[in-house]
A and B are shown apart, each in its own frame.
Chain A
C-alpha cells in the first residue's frame, strides 16, 4: 500500500476510535489517536495476520501493553476485517467482545490481554522467546506508553530482552508526552528514553514523527532487518492527533466526547479524510 492509502485507513481508524469512545461514554481517546497511524501501518503493511484465521500459529503478534488504547486496536482490527466496524459501538458495554482493556479470549485478533501497565511488555518478551526457542519466524511487537515506562516491570522486561538478544521483538514507545496527572516531565519522566533502551542493549530507532506514514515505514523497515538485538522505536507522537481540540490536551487522556464534541470531531476527521 502507498503511504497515502495507509493514511486514509488511519483516518478511518480515527473515526472508529472517536465513534467507539463516544458510544461508550468513557474510554481513552488521546492515547488511542496518538498511536492510530503506527497500528494502521503494522496491521496493514508490516505484520503477517489473517482476519479469516486470527489464531494462525505463524502470525506476527502485537501486544498493546498500553491497553487503555484499546479503541485504537479495536478500530484497526475492524478495519482489517477481524470483525465488523459496527461492533465498535458496543465498546465497554455489558456482554461486548470489546472490553475496556483488551482480552485475548474475547476479541478476534487480540494476541494478549493487557491493561495493567508494564505487564504487556513482559508477555511480548515471552512470545519472542518462544518464537526463538521453537525456531519460528514470526515477530512480536509491543506498544508502550511513555508514562508506562515509569513501571519498573518495563525495565525488567527490557533487561531480559536485551540480554537474550531477541531481535524478533520490536518495542514501540508512544511518546506523546502526556499522562493522566500531567506532562510526563511534571509527573516522573523516563527521558531520555533512547539512551535508556540503548543501555539495555536495544537497537534504538528515533521516529521523529510517529504520525507520518513515510517516516513510520522507514522506522519499521529498519527494525525488521536489524539482527542481534531487539529494537525499540521511540515514536514522537501527538496525543489526540487528528481532533484539533484533543491534541496535546491532557484532559483528553481518559474522557469521552459529548454529542456536540463528537460531531465536531467527526466533521474534522471526515474533512481531513477527503483531503487525503
Chain B
C-alpha cells in the first residue's frame, strides 16, 4: 500500500474549510477555544470575520450553531469529540437533532489515537451517541480525500451531520482525483470470499494492510470502507456477509453502539457470525498514539489476529 502521504483528517477539515471559504461566503465556523487543535484556526486566519470563537462552553456553542441554522444559515462547529458528542449530547439532541437543523458538527480528536492526553480526552463513545439521534448523519472519514469530500457534502446536506475526525496523521488511501464520495454508500476496496472486513475511519487503512497480510497466508478477505456509519449501507454489508459468511468489524471506538453494532443490526434478520474489533468496554490511557493502537489491538496485526482466530471456528 502506498503510504507516502500521511495527513490527519482534522488537518484535511481545516484546509477544506479554507477552500470552501474561497468559493462561497454563505457559512460561518464556530469553535470552543480549540481552534488550533481542531484546525479551524486555518479558516480563522483566512476569514476572520466568518469565524466565531464561543469560548470554553461547548453546550452553548452547539446551541448557537442551532440558532444560526434555525435562522436559515449554514454553520460548522468544532471541538473535540468528547465535548461535542459527550458534554453537549443533549444540546445536539434537542437543539439540533429534534428540529433537524443543518448544523455540521466536525468533531476532532476522536478515539484512542488522541494519545498522550489520556482517557478523559479519548472519546470512544461518540459514534454510539450520535447514531442514537434520529436523522443524524454520522461520517467517519478514513483519510484526507474522504474527509475533504465529507466536509464538502455536509455543507449542503439538509439535516445535521456529525463528522468524526482524528488527531493522528493517517495514510492517504483514496485517490484525491478519482474518488467519488457518496454519503451513505460504502466502498468495497478489495474483494475476497473468505471473510468480510468492515472498517471505518483510521481502521480502514489497517484493514487493507491486514487483508494483504492475510492474502499471503491464503486468506481472501473482502474489505469494505464504511465512511457513513449512519445511514449504514446495509445492502452492501448484507451482500458481502452473505458471500463470505463471516464479518469482522473494525473501529477505533467502543464495541458498544458503534459500527460493529450497526453491522450486527443490519445482519440480524439473516444472521452471519460477526466479530468486533474495537475498544473492549474499557477506558484508554496516555501514550503515543501508534503504541496505544497496537496495545488495544487496533492495527493491522490486531485485525489479522482476530480474522485468523475467527477462521478457526
Q: Which of B49, B50, B55, B64 contacts A122 (CB 8 A)?
A: B64
Cβ-based interface call for A191 (8 A): no
Cβ B59 vs Cβ A156 within 8 A: yes
A111 interface residue per 8 A CB criterion: yes
Within the complex, the shortest CB–CB distance from A148 to chain B, in Å, comes to 13
Chain B interface size, as a band, is 20 to 34
Most buried by B among A57, A111, A157: A157
From B52, B70, B90, B100, residue with most partner A Cβ within 10 Å: B70
User: A104 with B67: in contact, given A156-B60, A160-B54 (CB under 8 Å)?
Assistant: no
Binary flags per residue of A119-133, CB closer than 8 Å to B gives 1, else 0: 111111111111101
Expressed in whole angstroms, the Cα–Cα distance for A115 and B109 within the complex equals 31
- Shortest distance between the CB of B90 and any CB in chain A (Å): 6
**Interface contact A129-B99, CB-CB below 8 Å:** no
- Determine the chain B residues whose CB is within 8 A of the CB of A201 once the complex forms: none
B63's contact among A103, A111, A115, A157, by CB below 8 Å, is which? A157
Kindly provide the distance from the CB of B256 to the nearest chain A CB, expressed in whole angstroms. 25
CB atoms of B94 and A116 under 8 A apart: yes
**Residues in A neighbouring B99, C-beta threshold 8 A:** 103-105, 112-113
A-B contact count (CB 8 A): 106
Residues of A within 8 A of B94 (CB): 113, 115-116, 119
Considering the complex, which residues of chain A in the window 109-152 have a beta carbon less than 8 Å from any beta carbon of chain B?
111-113, 115-116, 118-131, 133-134, 140
Q: Are A127 and B91 also in contact (CB < 8 A) when A157-B63, A160-B60 are?
A: no
Rounded to whole Å, the gap between the CB of A16 and the closest CB of chain B is 24
Give the interface size class of chain A: 20 to 34
Known: A105-B100, A160-B60. A126 touches B68 (CB 8 A): yes
Which of A57, A115, A125, A127 has the largest number of chain B CB atoms within 10 A?
A: A127
A159 at the B interface (CB under 8 A): yes
* B105 part of interface (Cβ distance < 8 Å): no
**B54 to chain A: which residues have CB within 8 Å?**
160
From A128, which residue of chain B is reached at the shortest CB distance? B67
**Does B60 contact A133, Cβ atoms closer than 8 Å?**
no
CB neighbours (8 Å) of B91 from chain A are 119, 122, 153
- Contacts A153-B59, A153-B63, A160-B57; A119 near B95 (Cβ below 8 A): yes
- Which residues of chain B have a CB within 8 Å of any CB of chain A? 28, 49-50, 52, 54-55, 57, 59-73, 75, 90-91, 94-95, 98-100
- 24 inter-chain pairs at a CB distance below 8 angstroms, sorted by A residue, are A57-B72, A63-B67, A113-B99, A118-B59, A122-B60, A122-B64, A122-B67, A123-B70, A124-B67, A125-B60, A125-B63, A126-B66, A127-B70, A129-B64, A129-B68, A130-B67, A130-B68, A133-B73, A153-B60, A156-B60, A157-B60, A157-B63, A160-B60, A164-B52
Kindly list 11 other residue pairs between chains A and B, CB separation below 8 angstroms, not including A129-B64, A133-B49. Answer: A103-B98, A112-B99, A116-B94, A122-B63, A126-B63, A126-B75, A127-B70, A140-B67, A157-B63, A160-B54, A160-B55
